[in-house]
Amino acid sequence: MEISRVILQHILATFMVILAGFLLGGGLGILFAWLFRQLYSAVPGLRQPFVLLPWRTLLFTFILFFCSFMAFRVVRSVQGEQSAVVYPALVFILIVFFFVADEALTQWLPISPAVRWVGLARTFAVAGGVIVAIGANAAESGILLYAQNMASRTFRPDAYWTALGVVMGLGLVFDLLIGTVQMFLAIAEKRKKEHQTISAQGN
C-alpha cells in the first residue's frame, strides 16, 4: 500500500471520527446534561447522591474494550477496515458524550473548585488502570496478553471478560471511593451555601 494512500485514509478516518464525535457525542451530551438539569431542578436533593454515579468506570470500560483485542474477538460482525473506523468512532463518541455532559452540567449548575478537582482525580484514577493494562499489553505482558493467550488456547472469550472485570473492578473501587469524598464535599458546599443564605436573610 502506497504511503500517500495510507496518509489519505488516516486523514479521512480522523475527520469522520471527529465529526461523529462532535455531532453525536456532543449532541447527546448536551441533551443528557439538560435532562439531568431538569431532574435536579425538580428534585434538588438528588444532585449530591448522583455525584457517586460511576460514569467514568463505564466510559473507560468501553475504551478498554474497543482499544484491545477483546472487541475484535468478541464482536465478529465488524471486521477488517470497518473496525478501523467503527471502533475509534464509538470510543470518541463516548468520550465526547460523557465529558460534554459533565462540563455542561458544571456550567449550568456550578460547583466549587475543590469538588471539580476531586472529580478530576476520579477520572485520572480510573484511567490509570486502563493505561497500565493497554501499555503492558503493548509491551507484550500484563493481564490483557494473558487473556489473549488463554482465548487462543481455549477458543473462548472467558479470559477477556475476566481481564475486563479485574481492570474495571479496580477502577470502580477508586471511582466510588474518591466519589464518596466528592459527594461529601458537595454536601458540605450545599450546607455552607444554605447557611450563608439563612445568615444573609437574618441580617
72 vs 98, which has greater pLDDT? 98
Chain mean position to CA 6: 30
> 151 with 73: CB under 8 angstroms?
yes
d(CA 78, CA 84): 9
Mean pLDDT of 31-58: 92
pLDDT of residue 83: 66
Close Cβ partners of 89 (under 8 Å, ≥ 6 residues apart): 16, 17, 20, 21
Mean pLDDT of 161-187: 94
All three cell numbers of 174, joined, read 477508586
Residue 179 has pLDDT above 90, yes or no: yes
92 vs 159, which has greater pLDDT? 92
pLDDT over 70 percentage in the chain = 93
pLDDT over 90 percentage in the chain = 52
Close Cβ partners of 66 (under 8 Å, ≥ 6 residues apart): 87, 88, 90, 91
